[in-house]
Amino acid sequence: MIQLIRGCKDILPGETELWQKIEETAKEIFEDFGFREIRIPIMEKTELFARSIGEHTDIVEKEMYTFPDRGGEMLTLRPEATASIVRSYIQHKMYAQDPVRKFYTIGPMFRRERPQKGRYRQFYQINAEILGVAAPFADAQLIYMLTLLFSRLSVTDVTAHINSLGCPECRPDFREALLNYLSEREEELCADCRRRSRINPLRTLDCKVPKCREQMKDAPAITDRLCGECRTHFEKVQKFLHAMQVSFEIDKRMVRGLDYYTRTTFEILTGSLGAQSAVAGGGRYDGLIKILGGPDMPAIGFAIGLDRLTEICGINAESLQRKPALYIAALGENCQDKAFEWICALGQKGICAESDMEGKSLKSQMKRADRLGSPYVLILGEDELSSGQALLRNMKTKEQTAVPIENLPEKIKEIIK
């Protein structure tokens, strides 16, 4: 038997209802805050991700699904959505009409990571991005929206962590200070950090290896070395979050795994998912639109890991499952024909009715009605058909009442509404 690919998963009925609920709640909140949906392709030119996420990130170095298409062009299954959204903003010159755009998008992403609980090779993200706004209001609004979504979904065990990564003004000084610190400890660091300290030193700050954590505990913090503008920006974000009663922690070690970030970065962490503690992550990427060939415009956004969110969501998936409102137990060909008509008419009225399409016995049909959780069963045999009255059984009270067959869908609608 052919099994699915490692790191991919089927999302089955029983689970999909929760996915839909989360997606609907997110859309509702985003639209209440003026965000509009954008849909971008699942494949892009490899260069788009290499240039935006960064050549020396784990994603670009080791995790992308990249392949030559039949014409020889290198394509990649998107590992994230931000780069494509920025590409689309530039390609359609959206900045020319109204530079301020607020987008959301929901869909699958692909990263070839080692699969484990909460980590998949095809996973799903809910993204929200604000392009064209430099003011710290945007940062605070996005974080506020995230906390609102989590609270509407009854997610409890989460904390917002925020940091600032500075800007091209202040980051070089910090990098220098960090490199000095690292050069005195190179021998003590893991092989990955030794390599990182040459090509992407900031990443040494959030290495999970205990020996490295110990070595890095007194490392310089970027928040102590921000330039005046970055410091003011970061302080305002905090002020606005306090004003909206959003609780957060400042996490000086949080650097994020993508290179495009500037200033505010944030993550929503949970204690419920073991090693995969980030349920959402995001930040400012003020330089990215320019890097990708557009005008010099600021932007900020986040992505929620939908798979992870479904695992910590407090809503009972069972309670979301829609059950048929009626089961029609039809016996004999004439009755089955009638049931077929009624099911179509009821479906058209927004009432889900089910029946057995294969002429099974009454006993087996009643069993199926029970299994499906239908609150009512309509029993229709040749006798009922000729008398013009079918029997409606309330599955809870076991009461049976006669219902005239004429205009039955209308009558059913009234009874079960």
Q: Least distance (Å) from ligand HAM to the CB of residue 276?
A: 7
Q: Least distance (Å) from ligand HAM to the CB of residue 218?
A: 26
Among 15, 23, 61, 113, binds ligand HAM (CB under 6 A): 113
Confirm or reject binding of residue 280 to ligand HAM (CB under 6 A).
yes
Nearer to ligand HAM, 27 or 194 (CB): 27
Distance CA 313, CA 22 (A): 9
| 9, amino acid identity | K
Confirm or reject binding of residue 120 to ligand HAM (CB under 6 A).
yes
Confirm or reject binding of residue 94 to ligand HAM (CB under 6 A).
no
Confirm or reject binding of residue 286 to ligand HAM (CB under 6 A).
no
Residues 245-274 that bind ligand HAM (CB under 6 A): 257-258
Helix H segments across 217-286? 228-243
Distance CA 111, CA 127 (A): 16
Nearer to ligand HAM, 266 or 327 (CB): 266
- CB of 162 closer than 8 Å to CB of 251: yes
Q: Which of 111, 94, 17, 118 lies closest to 58, judged by CA?
A: 111
Question: With CB under 6 A as the contact rule, which of the stretches 157-165, 228-236, 240-248, 277-285 interacts with ligand HAM?
Answer: 277-285
Confirm or reject binding of residue 303 to ligand HAM (CB under 6 A).
yes
Q: Least distance (Å) from ligand HAM to the CB of residue 229?
A: 20
Question: With CB under 6 A as the contact rule, which of the stretches 213-221, 224-232, 305-313, 401-409 interacts with ligand HAM?
Answer: 305-313
Helix H segments across 264-323? 288-291, 306-312
DSSP 81-122: SHHHHHHHHHHTTHHHH-S-EEEEEEEEEE--PPPBTTB-SE
Buried b (16+ CB within 10 A) or exposed e, 189-200: bbeebbebbeeb
Q: Least distance (Å) from ligand HAM to the CB of residue 333?
A: 51
Confirm or reject binding of residue 139 to ligand HAM (CB under 6 A).
no
Confirm or reject binding of residue 281 to ligand HAM (CB under 6 A).
yes
Confirm or reject binding of residue 301 to ligand HAM (CB under 6 A).
yes
Helix H segments across 200-305? 210-216, 228-243, 288-291
Among 26, 54, 80, 155, binds ligand HAM (CB under 6 A): 80
Helix (H, G, I), strand (E, B) or coil at 316: coil
Nearer to ligand HAM, 205 or 258 (CB): 258
- CB of 206 closer than 8 Å to CB of 253: yes
Confirm or reject binding of residue 196 to ligand HAM (CB under 6 A).
no
Q: Which of 357, 366, 340, 342 lies closest to 416, judged by CA?
A: 342
Confirm or reject binding of residue 119 to ligand HAM (CB under 6 A).
yes
CA torsion sign for 163, 284, 35, 312 is negative
Q: Which of 160, 102, 120, 113 lies closest to 11, judged by CA?
A: 120
The pair of three-digit structure tokens given for residue 269, joined into one six-digit string:
């962490």
Among 125, 200, 215, 310, binds ligand HAM (CB under 6 A): 125
Confirm or reject binding of residue 104 to ligand HAM (CB under 6 A).
no
Confirm or reject binding of residue 123 to ligand HAM (CB under 6 A).
yes
**Tokens 């609150």 correspond to what residue?**
375
Q: Is 314 exposed, middle or buried (0-12, 13-18, 19+ CB in 10 A)?
A: exposed
Q: Least distance (Å) from ligand HAM to the CB of residue 278?
A: 4
The pair of three-digit structure tokens given for residue 408, joined into one six-digit string:
């039955």
Nearer to ligand HAM, 122 or 389 (CB): 122
Confirm or reject binding of residue 305 to ligand HAM (CB under 6 A).
yes
Confirm or reject binding of residue 57 to ligand HAM (CB under 6 A).
no
Among 51, 78, 102, 111, binds ligand HAM (CB under 6 A): 111
Q: Least distance (Å) from ligand HAM to the CB of residue 105?
A: 10
Among 127, 223, 310, 355, binds ligand HAM (CB under 6 A): 127
Among 166, 201, 220, 282, binds ligand HAM (CB under 6 A): 282
- CB of 88 closer than 8 Å to CB of 78: no
Q: Where does this chain bind ligand HAM (CB under 6 A)?
A: 80, 82, 111, 113, 119-120, 123, 125, 127, 129, 257-258, 278-283, 285, 301-303, 305, 307-308
